[in-house]
């Protein structure tokens, strides 16, 4: 086992970051400036707790064996709800963890200092430290993908909430008695402003007005059930008018949600990450327009800047590593 670094060395040492997704456990050695110097990955065995821990340990061991020098610790980010301390995974949508004492189990296994938490929190921290929100006093991260997640950094501190589950923006209810959400409620924001929402709306149009959705239907062999957000995004990039309109609608919903969050938290920066964020201004232009029109007190107060995340798919890995470094520094202070 690598010896623990002295307090003065912690800020100068690399750490290992792990990002656990539905299909892969991705890891990297992350330098203090946020640079990834080495990577490794394994498939995610989502139905087995022990096999998932085996995959994490294998990635950490591989990276540590190749690294010449000390490592300050390991940060692990995963989709799911963690308690405030990060000790327990309350629920994970892609993995077998249910009220699982993950941090203790992994710490015993890895024998290294460890940070464990939500992957969107880790991504938010990475964007605050190294990305689009550098220097922000209050930043919000919105991860737009299949659903909507995110994180909060206020005055240089990641905010996890009283129970560890802050930043679940996707489950704000924006339409009373609206679309049924997987969380059990109706009308959640992610049912209108996410990749899934984009596909859902497109399928509705294709079924009710096939002529209007002719291009989308041609792309899926005429089967409306096969239209996904990715299909719509590609059609929009190819100039299909309906697809462009549907993306604009998702952007408008995004802007409305940002306006609602601004009324509560008054952020100076809102960073948009996740898979849908690659659409850039196609989504963000209508989002900013809606934000300007829906911001409470508009004309008498500034609103937040809305920016695309800079670190892309690596944000969770980079943020988890830096949070592990921060945890060790605080323990040694």
- State the Cα–Cα distance between residues 1 and 24, nearest whole angstrom: 26
Percent of the chain scored above 90 by pLDDT? 69
pLDDT of residue 7: 58
SS3 181: coil
User: Do 103 and 116 touch, CB atoms closer than 8 A?
Assistant: yes
Q: How many CB atoms lie within 10 A of CB 176?
A: 7
- State the Cα–Cα distance between residues 180 and 184, nearest whole angstrom: 7
Q: What is the mean pLDDT of residues 256-281?
A: 92
Q: What is the mean pLDDT of residues 262-274?
A: 95
pLDDT of residue 89: 79
Residue 179 tokens, joined: 């679309």
Q: Between β-strands 89-91 and 98-100, what pairing exists: parallel, antiparallel or unpaired? A: antiparallel
Digit-coded pLDDT (tens) for 109-122: 899 999 999 999 99
Please say if the pLDDT value at position 4 is more than 60.
no
pLDDT bracket for residue 183 (50, 70, 90):
confident
Kindly report the length of the chain: 333
pLDDT of residue 298: 87
Digit-coded pLDDT (tens) for 280-310: 888 999 999 999 999 998 888 999 999 999 9
Q: What is the mean pLDDT of residues 92-107?
A: 75
pLDDT of residue 80: 81
CA dihedral 49, 51, 56, 61 (to 10 degrees): 140
Q: What is the mean pLDDT of residues 56-81?
A: 92
Digit-coded pLDDT (tens) for 126-180: 999 999 999 999 999 999 988 899 999 999 999 999 988 899 999 999 999 999 9
Query: Which string of b and e fits 264-302 if b means at least 16 CB within 10 Å?
Result: eeebbbbbbbbbbbebeebbbebbbebbeebbeeeeeee
Query: Between 99 and 12, where is the model more confident?
Result: 12
For all residues of the chain together, what is the average pLDDT? 90
Please say if the pLDDT value at position 102 is more than 80.
no
Please say if the pLDDT value at position 1 is more than 50.
no
pLDDT of residue 8: 63
pLDDT of residue 94: 64
What's the whole-model pTM score? 0.91
In Å, how far are 2, 40, 52, 202, 306 from 61, measured between CA atoms? 12, 10, 14, 45, 39
CA 98 centroid distance within chain: 20
SS3 154: strand
Digit-coded pLDDT (tens) for 221-261: 999 999 999 999 999 999 999 999 999 999 999 999 999 99
Residue 259 tokens, joined: 């306006």
- State the Cα–Cα distance between residues 317 and 152, nearest whole angstrom: 17
Percent of the chain scored above 70 by pLDDT? 95
pLDDT bracket for residue 30 (50, 70, 90):
very high
Q: What is the mean pLDDT of residues 43-50?
A: 78
């Amino acid at each position: 086992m690598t010896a623990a670094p002295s307090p003065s060395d912690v800020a100068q040492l690399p750490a290992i970051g792990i990002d656990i997704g539905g299909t892969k456990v991705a890891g990297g050695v992350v330098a203090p400036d946020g640079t990834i110097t080495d990577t490794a990955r394994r498939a995610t065995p989502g139905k087995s707790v022990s096999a998932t821990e085996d995959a994490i340990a294998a990635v950490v061991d591989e990276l540590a064996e190749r690294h010449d020098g000390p490592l300050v610790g390991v940060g692990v980010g995963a989709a799911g709800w963690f308690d405030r301390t990060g000790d327990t995974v309350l629920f994970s949508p892609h993995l077998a963890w249910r009220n699982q004492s993950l941090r203790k189990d992994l710490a015993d296994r890895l024998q290294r200092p460890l940070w464990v938490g939500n992957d969107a929190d880790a991504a938010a921290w990475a964007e605050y430290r190294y990305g689009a929100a550098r220097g922000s006093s209050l930043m919000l991260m919105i991860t737009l993908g299949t659903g909507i997640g995110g994180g909060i950094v206020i005055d240089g501190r990641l905010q996890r909430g009283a129970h560890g589950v802050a930043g679940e923006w996707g489950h704000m209810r924006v339409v009373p008695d609206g679309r049924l959400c997987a969380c059990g409620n109706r009308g959640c924001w992610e049912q209108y402003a996410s990749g899934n929402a984009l596909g859902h709306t497109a399928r509705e149009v294709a079924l009710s007005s096939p002529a209007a959705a002719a291009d989308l239907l041609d792309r899926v062999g005429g089967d409306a059930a096969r239209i996904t957000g990715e299909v719509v995004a590609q059609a929009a990039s190819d100039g299909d008018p309906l697809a462009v309109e549907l993306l604009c609608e998702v952007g408008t919903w995004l802007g409305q949600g940002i306006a609602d969050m601004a009324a509560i938290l008054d952020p100076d920066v809102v960073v948009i990450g996740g898979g849908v964020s690659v659409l850039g201004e196609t989504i963000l232009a209508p989002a900013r327009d809606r934000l300007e029109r829906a911001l409470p007190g508009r004309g008498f107060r500034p609103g937040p800047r809305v920016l695309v995340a800079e670190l892309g798919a690596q944000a969770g890995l980079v943020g988890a590593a830096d949070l592990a470094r921060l945890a060790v520094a605080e323990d040694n202070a």
